[in-house]
Amino acid sequence: MNLNIVLYQPEIPQNTGNIGRTCVLTNSALHLIKPLGFLLTDRYLKRAGMDYWKDLKVYYYENFEEFFEKHKDKRIFLATTHGEKLYTEVEYSQGDFIMFGKESSGVPDYIRQLLKDNLIRIPMVETSDRSLNLSNSAAIIMYEALRQMKFPNMKWFKEVIMRDIVIVTDSTADIPKSIVEENNIVIVPLTVTYRGKTYKDGVDLSTEELVKFLNESDELPKTSQVNPNEFYNVYKKLLDEGKEIISIHLSSGISGTYQSALIAKQMLNTDKIYVIDGKAVSFGTGLLVLEALKMIKDNRPAQEIAQTLEELSKKVKVAFLVDDIEYIKKGGRLSGAQAVIAKLLNIKPIIHMQDGKLYVYDKVRGLKKAIERIFEYLEEMDVDVEKPIGVGTISYIEEVEDLCIKIKEKYNTQQINKFIAGTVVATYSGPGVIGVVFFSK
């Protein structure tokens, strides 16, 4: 056993997963002191990208006292921002224990006092007085310890393990909150203006509140792109933490957000940021984020991930039905007379994305037939069932459940993600929307 890495009450599964992966690849063991901020079921671990967990030498302890009683005769280091010796000034030996505190508040003072002779100072962000995040700190200290122990292929360790890629996207990607939190995805919100007041999408304006705006007035809320300075601040902070950035955004054909991200990258004059035009909207952008996460977990380099995403963006398909034609009229895309006729005939437009812009794909009479038309769209666009599929709505939860069942039965796939459509789709279609997003072959 090379090293023993100890996490005291870890909270974020992605950080724990990254450290666990490093332990697997370096023949080191992971020790977890409870309580944990996540579940340890097979399903949850796989969902969090930790399906290699079965290969990990991992040990659990109900509290610090149980851990210390078992290992008190071993050399235990505590990594802290207040260590007397910098991590590079310590001589490490095979089998050493290195403990890291939980993300929110470190470890209690009594543990620091108990290990006071073995406190090591963790690396800090060069441009501030903050430490790096947990998985980065662990990787850097493990690198130094393994280097001293003559671990073979240190070049590989540095290029693969110490590489840290973060995904940035905007609020229109409509990614479920659980996926965002589990994978440390950075969401930059667009702004929504309604009756002279400006809100941050998804921060101080929920989908429910947006629907209320849509229903109460003939005036539609207006969405505004993220400005370059907001991206600059987000990117700068992440670069200071030593990260590479893959920034994936809604189609440049309907928003200037992608262009703002490019300007921010130019302002920073760096090759550590890769900006992707998703050529999609809503969870169509989110699907690209899911694919990027898979590639990160497969240890693919950022440049290769970005190139693959550029190709995949050409294959993203988005289609949604509009149940109430009134919202298209409010947006000025239909005259009053046309809206009246459409309502009388119970017409439901099918909107889809083509070349990064929204167009009417078909017009169907009745909601039931419109849902069937959405279902047929998958086959017409040659859906790739080896990749994830998204099915979304705002109000039609039961109808979406039924549609998911039909897709599963026909295509024999379990890779279906349900999502709530956000501001861009909602201001176009209103709450009566059902959509599908997927990759074509």
By C-alpha distance, which of 205, 202, 207, 261 is closest to 230? Answer: 261
Task: Give residue 330's pLDDT.
Answer: 54
Which of 142, 161, 180 finishes a domain?
Answer: 161
Are 347 and 277 members of one domain? no
By C-alpha distance, which of 178, 199, 176, 179 is closest to 189? Answer: 199
Domain that holds residue 178: 165-190+225-313
**Domain annotation covers residue 112:** yes
By C-alpha distance, which of 314, 321, 316 is closest to 375? Answer: 321
**Domain annotation covers residue 213:** no
Tell me which residues of the chain have a pLDDT lower than 70.
42-52, 103, 123-133, 155-156, 158-163, 299, 324-346, 428
pTM for the whole structure: 0.69
**Domain annotation covers residue 195:** no
**Domain annotation covers residue 206:** no
CATH number at residue 238: 3.40.50.10170
Are 95 and 140 members of one domain? yes
Task: Give residue 337's pLDDT.
Answer: 45
Are 105 and 229 members of one domain? no
Q: Is 349 strand, coil or helix?
A: strand
Distance of CA 283 to CAs 297, 349, 389, Å? 21, 20, 9
Q: Where are the alpha helices (DSSP H) in 26-59?
A: 42-47
Angle between the N-to-C axes of helices 228-240 and 257-268, in degrees from 0 to 180, rounded to the nearest 10: 50
Are 270 and 356 members of one domain? no
**Domain annotation covers residue 330:** yes
Are 20 and 109 members of one domain? yes
The distance in angstroms from the start CA to the end CA of the chain is 45
Are 176 and 295 members of one domain? yes
Distance of CA 241 to CAs 127, 130, 142, 371, Å? 9, 9, 17, 46
CATH number at residue 407: 3.30.1180.10
Are 351 and 240 members of one domain? no
Task: Give residue 46's pLDDT.
Answer: 61
Total residue length of the chain: 441
Task: Give residue 123's pLDDT.
Answer: 66
**Domain annotation covers residue 404:** yes
User: How many domains does the structure of the chain reveal?
Assistant: 3
**For residues 240 and 125, what is the distance between their CA atoms, to the nearest angstrom?**
6
Task: Give residue 332's pLDDT.
Answer: 47
Question: How would you class 41 by CB atoms within 10 Å of its CB: exposed for 0-12, middle for 13-18, buried for 19 or more?
Answer: exposed
Are 25 and 153 members of one domain? yes
Task: Give residue 340's pLDDT.
Answer: 46
Contacts 24+ apart (CB under 8 A), 259-263: 259/225, 260/225, 260/226, 260/227, 260/228, 260/230, 260/231, 261/168, 261/226, 261/228, 261/231, 263/228, 263/231
Which of 161, 179, 203 finishes a domain?
Answer: 161
**Domain annotation covers residue 407:** yes
By C-alpha distance, which of 387, 223, 430 is closest to 292? Answer: 387
**Domain annotation covers residue 203:** no
Task: Give residue 50's pLDDT.
Answer: 62
Are 275 and 328 members of one domain? no
Task: Give residue 325's pLDDT.
Answer: 63
Are 261 and 326 members of one domain? no
- What is the strand order of the sheet 97-100 is part of? 57-61, 29-33, 4-8, 97-100, 76-80, 119-121, 85-86
Buried/exposed code over 261-295 (b: 16+ C-beta within 10 A; e: otherwise): bbbbbeeeeeeebbbbbbbbbbbbbbbbbbbbbeb
Are 321 and 276 members of one domain? no
Q: Is 186 strand, coil or helix?
A: strand
Distance of CA 81 to CAs 4, 6, 105, 402, Å? 20, 16, 12, 53
By C-alpha distance, which of 161, 141, 142, 162 is closest to 86? Answer: 141
